[in-house]
């Protein structure tokens, strides 16, 4: 992003009478809402959260901010050394600025949501489109009311495609984000149990996920899992063009001949039956993510051979079914960014099918936001844990106690362990003492458990 202070002020209708007009010509080269990470030449966005961003203006100025947004109700604290663009609400102004910039750059927009797989799908789509176009994609998990505007404002002026991930934890959130970006293509990867604490049923989760179509352009495309009845039924109310992916012949694109290996999954599709595609991830479920990405590539006329090449080595966001090497030489499957029962069962199934000379060790942490059904859902993972395939199980968190109780009859005491959420250091030490070069260990949990700290403790440093 590169705009003058004057252009920004005009775009968000900010008051600028507190600094000289000559400052309006000053260039701004990006935005930042964390004063610690701000780089010289950027606009500081003071947001209200656990702390008030306005309290960190001195840090932002020290790090090189050339201007700042400023809430009108804090006008008695205006900074004097840099221009302050006075607005009613900095977050709303930030979002308005992102919409202005999106219109200015005018890329095609691909929006993705889903209970699981949206980050992986985003990475796959970005890789496929990058074979031919200039692409910007959501960084890490910047997928909410702050992260999506930030992603937009990170675009270079030559961006042709914006691939944006959208998360949600309440009704209305995707409605706002979809209308903000007005996608050319909207994708729902799947409907699971994530956030069921707030929604109550999968049907209500599906209703909320469908909000991603609310801002879809009239000539846009809605891509969804054609094997999910909840989406098939709701898609009937969407008037734009549609495309489905899945495993059934009635889907527009469906997979055939899926085969797992230790670090990758290969498959064929109906559209190009003579070609074999491969993704550098285990798990049959990840094939569906690839299918939706392939559907996007097909829409924008990416040659099948380029789709094939892009999927083979796409840039996967950290801690999403990522294979790493531990200090003892053990293989580590890190999938610790998020978790829900459907996703956890799929990863367990895939992990149990990987070839190994040693033991398979499963580390599972609490799955959050499952509400009154949480303990039952945690216990249900027992059906996906085969003691003949998984030698040891390490469980973390209060709700995983339900799974611990369910597994007691089938695991020897020395092979089944339970830790509280504040015992990650002990868990790391115990795993380190147990694991050998021939072993494989899988870690899966909601991000709030912070099992990434355990992964960091196990991984061999370069």
Residue after which a domain boundary falls, among 292, 312, 332: 312
pLDDT 10s digits, 240-271: 999 999 999 999 999 999 998 888 999 999 99
Residue 116: which CATH number?
3.40.1190.10
Considering the entire predicted model, what is its pTM?
0.89
Length of the chain: 462
Taking a C-beta distance cutoff of 8 angstroms, is the pair 16, 85 a contact? yes
Residue after which a domain boundary falls, among 312, 337, 361: 312
Q: Are residues 63 and 201 in the same domain?
A: no
Closest CA to 277 of 124, 433, 397: 124
Task: Say if 30 falls within a structural domain.
Answer: yes
High-pLDDT (> 70) share of the chain, %: 99
User: Tokens 């924008």, residue?
Assistant: 300
Q: Are residues 157 and 260 in the same domain?
A: yes
Q: How many domains does the chain have?
A: 3
DSSP calls for 283-329: -THHHHHHHHHHHHHHHTT--HHHHHHHHHT--PPTTSSEEEEBTTS
Q: Are residues 164 and 24 in the same domain?
A: no
For the chain, the maximum distance between any two Cα atoms, rounded to a whole number of angstroms, is 76
Task: Say if 94 falls within a structural domain.
Answer: no
Binding residues for ATP: 114-120
Task: Say if 93 falls within a structural domain.
Answer: no
The predicted pLDDT at position 106 comes to 98
Structural domain containing residue 295: 107-312
Binding residues: 114-120
Using the CB atoms, write b or e for 49-61: b if 16+ within 10 Å.
Answer: eeeebbebbeebb
Q: Are residues 195 and 228 in the same domain?
A: yes
Residue after which a domain boundary falls, among 312, 333, 365: 312
Instruction: Report, as an integer, the average pLDDT of 337-358.
Output: 90
Q: Are residues 286 and 252 in the same domain?
A: yes
Task: Say if 78 falls within a structural domain.
Answer: yes
| Residue 134 confidence (pLDDT) above 70 | yes
The predicted pLDDT at position 396 comes to 98
pLDDT band at 321 (very low <50, low <70, confident <90, very high): confident
| Tally: H helices and E strands in the chain | 16, 21
Q: Are residues 136 and 240 in the same domain?
A: yes
Taking a C-beta distance cutoff of 8 angstroms, is the pair 277, 303 a contact? no
Q: Are residues 67 and 168 in the same domain?
A: no
pLDDT band at 39 (very low <50, low <70, confident <90, very high): very high
The predicted pLDDT at position 115 comes to 87
Task: Say if 98 falls within a structural domain.
Answer: no
Residues with Cβ < 8 Å from 392, sequence gap 6 or more?
359, 361, 362, 411, 415, 416, 417, 434
Residue 26: which CATH number?
3.40.1390.10
Integer Cα distance of 170 and 208 in angstroms: 8
Quote the tokens at residue 407: 């597994």
Instruction: Report, as an integer, the average pLDDT of 61-82.
Output: 95
Integer Cα distance of 149 and 13 in angstroms: 17
The predicted pLDDT at position 357 comes to 93
Instruction: Report, as an integer, the average pLDDT of 83-102.
Output: 98
User: In angstroms, what CA-CA distances link 47 with 28, 94, 174?
Assistant: 19, 9, 21
Task: Say if 416 falls within a structural domain.
Answer: yes
Q: Are residues 230 and 364 in the same domain?
A: no
Q: Are residues 326 and 304 in the same domain?
A: no
Taking a C-beta distance cutoff of 8 angstroms, is the pair 152, 102 a contact? yes
Quote the tokens at residue 447: 């991000």
Integer Cα distance of 226 and 245 in angstroms: 6
Task: Say if 95 falls within a structural domain.
Answer: no
pLDDT 10s digits, 358-397: 999 999 999 998 888 899 999 999 999 999 999 999 999 9
Task: Say if 426 falls within a structural domain.
Answer: yes
Quote the tokens at residue 180: 């903000």
Taking a C-beta distance cutoff of 8 angstroms, is the pair 39, 154 a contact? no
Q: How many CA atoms lie within 13 A of 144 on its CB side?
A: 7
pLDDT band at 319 (very low <50, low <70, confident <90, very high): low
pLDDT 10s digits, 407-449: 999 999 999 999 999 999 999 999 999 999 999 999 999 989 9
High-pLDDT (> 90) share of the chain, %: 85
Q: Are residues 30 and 141 in the same domain?
A: no
Q: Are residues 138 and 171 in the same domain?
A: yes
Q: What's the whole-number average pLDDT of the chain?
A: 94
The predicted pLDDT at position 429 comes to 97
Residue 380: which CATH number?
3.90.190.20
pLDDT 10s digits, 176-231: 999 999 999 999 999 987 767 778 788 999 999 999 999 999 999 999 999 999 99
Q: Are residues 306 and 327 in the same domain?
A: no
The predicted pLDDT at position 317 comes to 79
The predicted pLDDT at position 343 comes to 87
User: How far from chain centre, in Å, is Cα 23?
Assistant: 38
Integer Cα distance of 206 and 358 in angstroms: 41
């Amino acid at each position: 992003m590169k705009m003058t202070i004057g252009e920004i002020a005009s775009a968000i209708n900010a008051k600028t009478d507190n600094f000289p007009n000559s400052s309006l010509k000053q260039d701004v080269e990006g935005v930042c809402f964390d004063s610690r990470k701000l780089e010289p030449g950027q606009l500081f966005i003071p947001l209200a959260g656990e702390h008030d961003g306005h309290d960190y203006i001195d840090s932002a100025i020290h790090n090189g901010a050339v201007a700042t947004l400023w809430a009108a109700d804090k006008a008695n604290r205006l900074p004097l050394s840099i221009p302050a663009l006075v607005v009613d609400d900095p977050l709303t102004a930030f979002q308005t600025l992102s919409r202005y910039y999106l219109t200015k750059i005018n890329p095609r927009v691909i929006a993705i949501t889903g209970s699981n797989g949206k980050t992986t799908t985003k990475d796959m789509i970005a890789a496929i489109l990058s074979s031919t176009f200039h692409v910007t994609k959501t960084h890490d998990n910047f997928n909410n009311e702050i992260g999506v505007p930030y992603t937009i404002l990170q675009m270079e002026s030559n961006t042709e495609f914006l691939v944006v991930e959208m998360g949600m934890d309440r009704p209305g959130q995707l409605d706002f984000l979809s209308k903000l970006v007005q996608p050319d293509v909207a994708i729902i990867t799947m409907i699971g149990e994530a956030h069921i604490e707030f929604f109550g049923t999968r049907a209500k989760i599906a209703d909320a996920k469908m909000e991603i179509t609310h801002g879809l352009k009239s000539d846009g495309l809605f891509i969804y899992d054609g094997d999910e009845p909840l989406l098939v039924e709701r898609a009937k109310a969407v008037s734009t063009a549609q495309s489905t992916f899945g495993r059934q012949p009635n889907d527009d694109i469906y997979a055939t001949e899926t085969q797992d290996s230790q670090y990758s999954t290969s498959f064929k599709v109906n559209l190009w039956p003579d070609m074999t595609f491969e993704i550098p991830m285990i798990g049959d479920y990840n094939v569906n993510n690839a299918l939706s990405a392939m559907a996007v590539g097909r829409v924008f006329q990416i040659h099948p051979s380029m789709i094939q090449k892009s999927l083979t080595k796409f840039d996967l966001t950290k801690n999403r079914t990522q294979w790493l090497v531990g200090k003892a030489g053990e293989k580590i499957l890190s999938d610790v960014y998020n978790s829900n029962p459907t996703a956890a069962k799929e990863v367990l199934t895939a992990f149990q099918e990987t070839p190994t000379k040693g033991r398979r060790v499963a580390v599972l942490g609490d799955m959050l936001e499952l509400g009154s059904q949480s303990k039952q859902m945690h216990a249900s993972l027992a059906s996906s844990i085969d003691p003949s395939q998984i030698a040891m199980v390490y469980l973390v968190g209060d709700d995983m106690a339900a799974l611990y109780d369910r597994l007691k009859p089938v695991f020897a005491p020395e092979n089944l362990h339970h830790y509280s959420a504040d015992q990650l250091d002990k868990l790391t030490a115990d795993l380190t003492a147990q694991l050998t070069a021939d072993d494989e260990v899988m870690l899966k949990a909601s991000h709030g458990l912070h099992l990434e700290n355990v992964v960091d403790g196990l991984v061999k440093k370069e």
